[in-house]
Amino acid sequence: MDKSEGKTMKAVLYQGNPYEMVVKDIPRPIIRAPTDAIIRVTTAAICGSDLHNYHGLFSTNHTPYTMGHEAVGLVHEIGSKVTKYKVGDRVVIPDFFAEHGVEIVYGEGDGVGTDAGGCQAEYVLAPRADDILFPIPSGTKHELDYLLCADIFASAWTSITSTGFQPGDTVAVYGAGPVGLLAAYSALLRGALRVYSIDHVEARLHRARSIGAIPIDLRKGDPSSQILKLEPNGVKRTSDCVGFECINPEGKKEEAYILNDAVKVTSVGGGICLTGVYWHGPRNHAEPFQGPKLAHVPFDIAAWWIKNLTITGGSVPAAAQEPALIDLITAGRAKPSFVFDHVVRIEDAPEAYRLFSEHKVQKVAIDFAPQLSETNGTKRKYGEGSDVKGHRKVHVGGRDGS
């Protein structure tokens, strides 16, 4: 019998009720195939895309299911054909992977995800472990940095790449949430001349300034108008890190707002990447606020055409970037963990979702291993992260200022 069979674990579950997450004991995953591994999660995170579920805009008919697709952990058990990893190895679990030609996403139920479950749990099943997991150095160093490689650091990095970015370019990033901040950080790390970071939340704008980006307050009017006063020819590259839950300067939801404003601010021959989620599907009982309008946005195609802009987008396979980003972190060249400002135990995850949704915290980590929770030699304090108070300067290249 599998040694995990019959045992339980704590997990964060979405039960189909918007604005509500729960923590319950559920069965632990078990080895089902010789290529499987079981990972004991040491730290997980709440992603901005998890909020689409929380807000009742993205789900599946089959609830409840375990949430989360960002995690770091230790190999707890391996199948007989796993050769690359051994028990005790420290690994990053990527947010999604391909299985028989189908995209499998952790933490989204069986509609667009996998019955392997989600990563906001004490244990996670890793099918085809040799193929999908990524090794990181043993110990506890850079735990929060490596955690971001599971999804949003890779997504942010790819968003900048997909705009056609070259060193010396000017860049605008819509959204200064975790992905947007990491997109701005990635552009600066790679040699952007100037980066404009757009948001309506004061704390996020402060954090953008702390990494060297130029904050643009959405509440003061169209970002394109504000930026064009500083860049008369527009910026060369634009990244949308918000998606279909975006708002206009009046604070009202307007699904097409960023796309059309991005066309205005991007210079002739430039590039735009839509990294934020744009989605709709047949509404189900767990998506009471979903609707077909979310997939159909009015777009000024003539303005796009006459400027000869390139627009790309779509989901980002973190696995394509993880090895390079892990190496940058290990070498001390990148420290993306500045986006974290809230660390909780799993029991406090439902409240953390609320705080994240209300923009009262920047990025949440869930600590499953208090005895291992030392980050860069400093014991974590629950309710806050590694760079919370005072928005200390974060120098691109990987060192926090004092």
* DSSP-H helix ranges across 255-348: 257-265, 301-307, 322-330
- Is pLDDT above 80 for 210? yes
What's the confidence (pLDDT) of residue 100?
64
List the domain range (segments joined by +) for residue 251: 156-313
- Is pLDDT above 80 for 287? no
**29 DSSP assignment:** P
**pLDDT band per the 50, 70, 90 thresholds, residue 321:** confident
Measure CA of the first residue to CA of the last residue in the chain; give whole Å: 53
**296 and 166 housed in the same domain:** yes
Contacts of 358 (CB under 8 A, 6+ apart): none
**Rounded mean pLDDT of 153-179?**
96
**301 and 225 housed in the same domain:** yes
What's the confidence (pLDDT) of residue 297?
79
What's the confidence (pLDDT) of residue 376?
37
The reply to whether 95 falls in a domain is: yes
What's the confidence (pLDDT) of residue 57?
79
**59 and 125 housed in the same domain:** yes
**3-state percent breakdown (helix, strand, coil) of the chain, nearest 5:** 30, 25, 45
The reply to whether 363 falls in a domain is: yes
In what helix (H) or strand (E) does residue 286 lie, and over which residues does it extend? none
The reply to whether 1 falls in a domain is: no
- Cβ–Cβ under 8 Å, residues 189 and 212: no
Q: Which of 293, 313, 333 is the last residue of a domain?
A: 313
What's the confidence (pLDDT) of residue 309?
96
**pLDDT band per the 50, 70, 90 thresholds, residue 380:** low
State the Cα–Cα distance between residues 386 and 132, nearest whole angstrom: 29
What φ, ψ does residue 225 adopt, rounded to 5°? -65, -40
What's the confidence (pLDDT) of residue 111?
57
**pLDDT band per the 50, 70, 90 thresholds, residue 125:** very high
What is the residue type of 320?
Answer: A
**182 and 43 housed in the same domain:** no
**231 and 360 housed in the same domain:** no
pLDDT tens digits, residue range 73-103? 999 999 999 999 999 999 999 987 766 666 7
**228 and 265 housed in the same domain:** yes
Task: Output the average pLDDT for the chain.
Answer: 87
**193 and 81 housed in the same domain:** no
- Computed from CA positions of residues 300, 303, 308, 314, in that sequence, does the dihedral angle turn out positive or negative? negative
What's the confidence (pLDDT) of residue 101?
64
- Is pLDDT above 70 for 353? yes
**Rounded mean pLDDT of 383-394?**
40
What's the token pair of residue 153? 């650091």
State the Cα–Cα distance between residues 268 and 275, nearest whole angstrom: 21
Burial profile 84-107: b = 16 or more Cβ within 10 angstroms, e = fewer: ebeeebbbbbbbbbeeeeeebbbb
Q: Which of 253, 281, 313 is the last residue of a domain?
A: 313
What's the confidence (pLDDT) of residue 402?
21
CATH number at residue 331: 3.90.180.10
Q: Which of 273, 290, 313 is the last residue of a domain?
A: 313
CATH number at residue 304: 3.40.50.720
**243 and 348 housed in the same domain:** no
Q: How many CB atoms lie within 10 A of CB 12?
A: 25
- Is pLDDT above 70 for 251? yes
What's the confidence (pLDDT) of residue 104?
77
**14 DSSP assignment:** E
In what helix (H) or strand (E) does residue 353 lie, and over which residues does it extend? helix 349-357
Q: How many CB atoms lie within 10 A of CB 289?
A: 12
Number of domains forming the structure of the chain: 2
pTM exceeding the 0.85 threshold for the entire prediction: yes
State the Cα–Cα distance between residues 141 and 233, nearest whole angstrom: 44
State the Cα–Cα distance between residues 40 and 123, nearest whole angstrom: 5
**Antiparallel, parallel or unpaired: β 37-46 and 364-367:** antiparallel
**Rounded mean pLDDT of 2-31?**
90
